[in-house]
Structure 1
Amino acid sequence: MIAQVDGASPAIRDVAGMTVCYAELGALCQEFAAVGVQDAPMAVLGGSARALALAVAVVYAGRPLVLLDPQLPTARLRHILQTSGATSTIVDDEFQPLAVEVGAAGVLPVSQVWDSGLPWAGEVRRPGGSVPATIVYTSGSTGAPKGVVLSHAAVVNGAATSREEFGLRTGDVCAMLLPPAYAAGQEVLFMAVLNGCLAESFDPRQRSVGEIAEWLGDRGITTLHCTPSMLRHLNGSLSLNSFPAIRLLTTCGEPIHGRDVAAARPYLPHADYANYVGSSETGHLSFFHVRAGEPLPSGQIPAGRVTQRKTITPVGDDGHPLPAGEVGVLEASSAFLASGYWGEPERTAAVFGERGDERTFRTGDRGSVADGVLTLAGRKDDAVKIRGYLVEPAEVEAALRGIDVVRDAVVIADAEAGRLIGYVVPDPARRTPSLAQLRAELAQLLPDWMVPQSIVLLDALPRTERGKVDRAALPAPAVRSNLTVPTDQWEALVSAVWCDVLHLETVGRDESFAELGGDSLAVEEMLAALAEDGIDLRGSDLAAAPTLAAFAVRVREQSGKQAADRSRGVMVTLREGDGVPVYCFSGAGGPAYLFTDLARKLDPSHSVHAFQVRGLERRAVPDWSVRRAAKRYAGLIEQRQAPGRVVLIGHSLGGLFALETGRLLRERGYEVAFTVLLDTLLPGRLARLSGESAPELRIPGGRKQSRRELWLTRLQLLGAGLYPYKPAVRDQVFFQHGLRLTEWYRVHPWDGPTEVFLTPENLDDRAWWRHVLTGEYRIHEVECGHVAILKPPYVERIAELVGDALDARVG
């Protein structure tokens, strides 16, 4: 032990509260050492306090330890056991069936070992130095997992480095939010027990993130250790709590942005912060510290200063060291690096070497070192040439992470195609960005050749069992349509405008504005650009003619003399088909083209039409009640089709339009196969039916107005649909128009099958729906914003469920 500690002090405690004190841990270590050791590794499967204590005892006795993660697939566990050659396995009692399934040798239940001791005997040996202490299996994201051999010297040095860098002291309570089967988790385990601290184990993969708040407070955590991705999850669930006892927060394993750490400060008011860089093969390499209250970097957190007893040298293509500040492939050297890869001498020789008394390891990272400070520059195999420029994906990734609406991101290079692909997880607490918005913000930070032309929105990045991004599991971006050149001056004009607005290099004739990432703001910008050339079109024109070629025809034909029928500016056909038609209803000033993404993802056999409130785009007096609007919509549906089956989908206030229109259609002989309500707000009178006070008049996603703005909007409401307000004013006016329609509406019970999707922004009590939906209905919770529910990546789930319902109910 490095530190002396009272034997009664707790050493390891698990989430169930089982505790192993230092006296028990010491006795176990002495017993294991006295019984004797064998050269063959010993495995431990499980994460209880007793299992982890027995793992420490295995290392103390000098037998190579293989910690197994029960969350791994059985095939992976079987591979690790076979390649490690473990001849016995200590197993948490609950995982005995799993141990048998994966073919573990010499299975010893934890309870049996704890009560009866070890059943083998061997040569007594006191371990140390280069003797293997633990074999850590990597995630294998780039191939088969390999066992990294860490010596006793490397483990002890890691604990000493942690004490020096983190100021660890006897009595610290160290939170392990990292699986102990992996290098970072084992670092926390050994740094705690070798420094007289308490290792508190909590596996967030087996419990909800929300449970961490109670655990952090009840256990008196003083140091919190996690990955950046875990910290981002914590930021979303712990913000209403405060943990003043936590004096230190650390992250490792992947890049982290200063914004992520700043978001944690409200609930960690007294915590210093440390980010450290390293790998299974090298252990800690560098640390970057920020004291509590000190300003954080505005961008990506730097790698920091190289730690003691480690040296990092950038080398060129010829293998020779580079001058200070020059970027090269990083080579680490120290007496405390990993010994190599277990049972793989050729793979070991390829990256490990000797220099005097030290080991060397050639990493896959590029970077520079100046005055002892490490600066990373991405992976050596990631760089790609784009338009003749060498681009590092890591730099683009850092810029993406710096955008405030981005929660997580990764950028990869497609060297064959000479392009970058960005994968972005939007912040669900903010307005979901469009692809055009992301490219536009990147264009403010980076040269145009560094802006990814392909960006994919995801609700979460796929990760390996170690929590790192699983690049092999990232979905391929959508294939761009044939990028044929414009055929006339109209297509050339539209192409130039679209490329400028969407920040794209080229646009194909058959590509649609929405598919390329255009949102409502981009539509307004595009229409304004065309208006400067005397072309007056509306968003409904784009919805009806979404591709470049089709929209160019609208531009050519636009003359301002088209005869307006009843549907112009109210109903827009998004797609034609001969199947059961789907009618979508936008609300609170939402344009019809908000349903474009949903329409694209439904079975193409179904026609899709979208309604927007009268007066939003074409000058007309708006409907001042839900029933009046529903009569208009029902009449337009009657004009389009004879009585038959229909599907109705409503977003926000559009959900009330859908229910009222469905009731009128039934009276006229139509069959409503089912309805879908997307984050619809119910009138306050339903709260009063439940015995509650009426909620504040609001619709999710709406900006709260000042008193002056509110009175101005009330005056502007008189001109709704008639006065040519600027787009921002028009949107606010129709938003307030929608608020009033919602509050004045008296909901009638609906007994048809209904799917209800609600977001966290919708504060209505879910029980209120029983007053409205008297037939079969289901409520689905979607973790996104009010408008984002109609955008990627969340709209995919809506489309999938609607598609399943269409198949089940209409064939």
Structure 2
Amino acid sequence: TGARVVLTQGSLMGRFRGYEGRLVCVDTVVVEGFPVTDPVRSTSAESLAYVIYTSGSTGRPKGVLVEHGGLANFVRWCVEGYSGRGVGGAPVFSSIGFDAVVPNLFGPLIAGQTVHLLPEGFDIARLGELLVAGGPYSFIKLTPSHLDLLTAQLTPAEAAGLAATVVVGAESFSAASLEYWRRLAPDVVVLNEYGPTEVTVANSVFQADGLVSTRTVPIGRPIPNTWMFVVDYAGELAEVGVTGELLVGGMGVVRGYHGRPDLTADKFIPDRFGPVPGGRLYRTGDLARVLPDGNVEFLGRSDDQIKIRGYRVEPGEVEAAVVSHPMVTAAHVTVADDLVGGPQLVGYVVPADAPAPAVLREYLSSRLPAYMHPTAWVFLDGLPLNPNGKIDRKALPTPGTVTTSSYQPPVTPAEHDLTRIWQTVLGRDRIGVFDNFFDLGGHSLLAIQLVNTINRDTPMRISARDLFTHPTIRDLAGLTAAMVAARDGDTVVTLRAAAPGGRRLFCVHPSGGSVHWYYRLAQSLRDGDGLLGLQAPGVEGDAEPLADISDLVDVYLRDLRREQPTGPYALLGWSLSGPIALELARRLRGEGEHVDLLLLEPSWPDRRTIATLRQTIAEHRHAADLIDALVAQRAAASTGASVSASIVELERQLTELASSSDVLSEVMLELDSSVTVRTAGLLYEAFVAWDPVPYDGDADVVVTPECVGADLDHPSKASVGSYAEYLAELERLMPSGPRIHLVEGDHLTMLGPDHAPEVAEVFYRVVGADGPAISAR
């Protein structure tokens, strides 16, 4: 930092070898001869108060330049809002290198109160004991993890007498943590404080007078002389309830980063919204939304979002849902990048009464879509904390097992073989014979890898479709050769068998060709009814992939008639399979059959959609070529050829391609054939080349709020145009006028565990089992 003077102690003098400024050892300095009067004040609001280093996402610490004006404004707020609530001062138990020490240190001193210093390096297990011994305090400033720890350590009487006010900050504060503390000490004032170091410790606060309805405790409103705004992706003020980036302005905004003009210019931008001309806003990188009452809710870090099998996931949102379970006292959700099958969510849980992973999965199924469920669980006595009271992520154990309450070890030789393969493919040390493949994180590409390995390493011969009807090791081991052979070469996949007299819903695969997407919908149908998927040729088996929708419909008509010779038929298409389902319905209707057609946000090959798919098609072609080359090189290596460098390079290219693509996954590296990826690419090509023929029968279309609210600036995943344009295209292709139904969720989650039951109910209305359609026109 270029500091001219350093104050230190004798035990630390050795750390400053080579320092050319003035080094003052406070243990030995002679104070006689110095003036006894107050020094002349030479600082202004713009003078530098301190430089504090924060860790960056790149691992390079950033020196934050904090000025006196911002520091004075915050400390004044601390005196009025924190210290003024009592006379007992505050404890200091975090590092002075962590700016959470500012209110604990300066607030009491300026108010004429005591600063209580806890012993350096104390055992965190004694936190409650040490705080109680020094209390009561005016306030305690701590992290949510500290509060969870005190909740477990203190009695109700100790908690009630600890401090007039508890100030929580530095991490997301879950509603569940607040509820647990409220049960212990209902009369203690709880404040949730928010603010990055770049806005001088904190800039907003929320007083939690009771329980809250949000998953996390809101961060409230700005403190005096500061302001904050939520902006959308275009940098404009977001509407109430809409998620965007949080920007902070006012006196607390710091000067910038020491020696980092490029980063300062990127993160500190002109203030277009605040009351002071010429001001600056700090781009926090935090996601937030303004609530109807004007308070702001923190929703996590934008750079914490990761991609799980093509979905964007915010781990903090998952964490808030996990910790809301009544048997969970604390939780942390993170991403493991080194597990088989690509990045996966891991849930670290501190239980009050240890729930089994199956119980947590069931609980989350009504709160989060399936792709946001952790696939590995680790149960701990407590979350490891660093000296600043934040979760020490480096100390979290590596997930090694997925345990279930009904764990059953393998018994037969076939079960032992399958267990070994499942453990390798899914990256798990312990899998029971009744554990469900899909509940363990299985998806279409892992299913193909699993099937390939089983067929190569065991006498069994199965297909990926067998996992839908036999999703456990015990079920799969009992699958006979006759059962598999009976379905070989057929595109119809039974996800749920219909009882005699039950309804059958035929669902056409979306992009990619697999029908695993309909698994939750199949589970949502009523007793006796069945769901059969029409899966693209080439997804599995030896069938040649097809690149023309007319040819696909020929095959599907043949197999559908084989399964159900006469109507009435119920057909469903979703996303890019909309044109296929429409053509299938048109052909059946032309043959005199009655068809109930249900389309879930169908996409159409209009100009804008085609333009967006050109890159996707190119990615699939390139990926298929790389996979073919990689398979060939690995085969050559097995014969002793020296091709390791080529293999490494091909793997690197595939990894980079998967990382940059919205639809491809690193599981491609484990495939022993490119046929699955090539099939998916050909389906995109078939979609782009198709010119749909209008359908003159009745049709029903399901949309989500994302689709209804779409415009050119905010397109939905179903259409890159506006909702009005989308409706016009629907009416052109279905001139009888489609009936529109609205379900919650969005294009990707409408078939997940949360919303699949809503889609099922629409299906029953369409086939006449229940009341009228619900219009969203």
**For this structure pair, what is the TM-score category when the shorter chain's length is used for normalisation?**
0.3 to 0.5
TM-score, length basis structure 1: 0.46
TM-score, length basis structure 2: 0.48
